[in-house]
Amino acid sequence: MLLEDDGSTSNDFARLLLRTFALGVPGLPRLGMQALPRQLAASLAAPVRTRTTMESIRREGGSMLVRAAGAELRAEQVVLATDPVSARSLAPGNDDGGPAADGSPAGGGVPALKGVLTHWFAADEPPTRLNLLCVDARDPRRGPLVNTAVVSNAAPGYAPAGRHLVQTSALFGPGRPVPGDDEVRRHAAEIYGSDASGWELVARHEVPHALPVQPPPLASPRPAEASPGLFLCGDYRATASIQGALDSGHHAAQAVLRPDFG
Ligand SMILES: Cc1cc2nc3c(=O)[nH]c(=O)nc-3n(C[C@H](O)[C@H](O)[C@H](O)COP(=O)(O)OP(=O)(O)OC[C@H]3O[C@@H](n4cnc5c(N)ncnc54)[C@H](O)[C@@H]3O)c2cc1C
């Protein structure tokens, strides 16, 4: 869950996650993660344009000029809900909050980011019927994986027709050996106590910037308004999770809507 194995994450954050798991039920949207932004966008009155890269923001007079897809838009308020690296390059000089690259909690730098390597296997038989995320927390771990789940037990629509979909995750990043597909298969089989030799690899995703580091102390979300009219939000400004991203987005929305705004 934390995408680290060195204990560098805030204990308070780990406890917050445990509390959330204990009180809630982890789940997957039936139609994929895209269902979450679609649902948020559905209630908006204004049109939403996707697949458009924002190229730059600059101030002119009392407003901002945003360049995207070769065109310029003038805006009095801009909410920049990107990853921290893009936020830093689009809005240099603004306090982007979050822990610094060396893991220190003081704001200022782009927070260090942690990576994950995910393999997806199609299996004729599921190695378990349980709806559980299996975590290899043995010390030492017996292979590269930190967790695995039969994703199609929770969301059958994710699997190729008539088959089952197994996900495995390993830590990924500089200085870490990249495990081969067979090594991953072997470790997953050992975790489930089943034979994985017939599993077909259907996808392999390397995500180097999956989560920002979350070192102690666990702080309140950073103020959203980085400079007049420019609001920043994302998991790196609250807590490293979808929950943190939503929380930070909510803060940004409240700051934009505050009654005394300009
Ligand atoms: C494999 C994987 C599994 C995960 N599982 C979980 C989980 O089970 N539970 C959980 O809580 N968290 C999970 N996370 C973490 C979670 O995905 C992140 O915490 C969350 O997505 C952060 O949301 P965000 O809105 O801050 O940033 P992002 O989701 O990174 O969104 C930022 C968006 O900005 C866009 N963008 C960047 N630059 C530009 C630009 N110039 N112009 C236009 N758009 C731009 C990007 O394309 C991206 O869509 C997982 C992450 C990964 C990689």
Please report, in angstroms and rounded to a whole number, the separation of the first and last CA atoms in the chain.
41
Tell me 30's DSSP state: T
Q: What is the C-alpha to C-alpha distance for residues 110 and 58, in angstroms, rounded to an integer?
A: 20
Burial of 4-23, coded b for 16+ CB within 10 Å and e otherwise, reads beeeebbeebeebbeeeeee
pLDDT of residue 110: 81
- Comparing C-alpha atoms, which of 160, 168, 154 is closest to residue 123? 160
Q: Is the pLDDT of residue 65 over 60?
A: yes
Place of tokens 């077909």: 200
H or E, element range at 58: strand 54-60
Tokens of 87: 């936020």
Mean pLDDT, rounded, for 56-85: 93
Q: Do residues 82 and 134 make contact, with C-beta atoms less than 8 angstroms apart?
A: no
How many angstroms is it from 44 CA to the middle of ligand 1? 21
How many angstroms is it from 60 CA to the middle of ligand 1? 30
Q: Is the pLDDT of residue 221 over 90?
A: no
Q: Residue 108: which pLDDT band, with cuts at 50, 70 and 90?
A: low
Q: Is the pLDDT of residue 119 over 50?
A: yes
| Domains of the chain and CATH, by start | 50-111+215-257 (3.50.50.60), 114-212 (3.90.660.50)
Question: Counting atoms of ligand 1 from 1, which one is nearest the CA of 237?
Answer: 26
Instruction: Say which residue, 231 or 108, is predicted with more confidence.
Output: 231
How many angstroms is it from 140 CA to the middle of ligand 1? 30
- Residue range 133-177, pLDDT digits in tens: 999 988 888 999 999 999 999 999 999 999 999 999 999 999 999
154: helix, strand or coil: helix
pLDDT of residue 141: 87
pLDDT of residue 101: 41
Q: Amino acid identity of 173?
A: G
Q: Is the pLDDT of residue 94 over 90?
A: no
Mean pLDDT, rounded, for 40-64: 92
List the residue whose alpha carbon is closest to atom 20 of ligand 1: 242
Q: What is the C-alpha to C-alpha distance for residues 224 and 180, in angstroms, rounded to an integer?
A: 42
Q: Which residues line ligand 1 (CB under 6 A)?
A: 53-54, 81-83, 86, 90, 116, 118, 207, 210-211, 234-235, 240-243, 245
pTM above threshold 0.85: yes
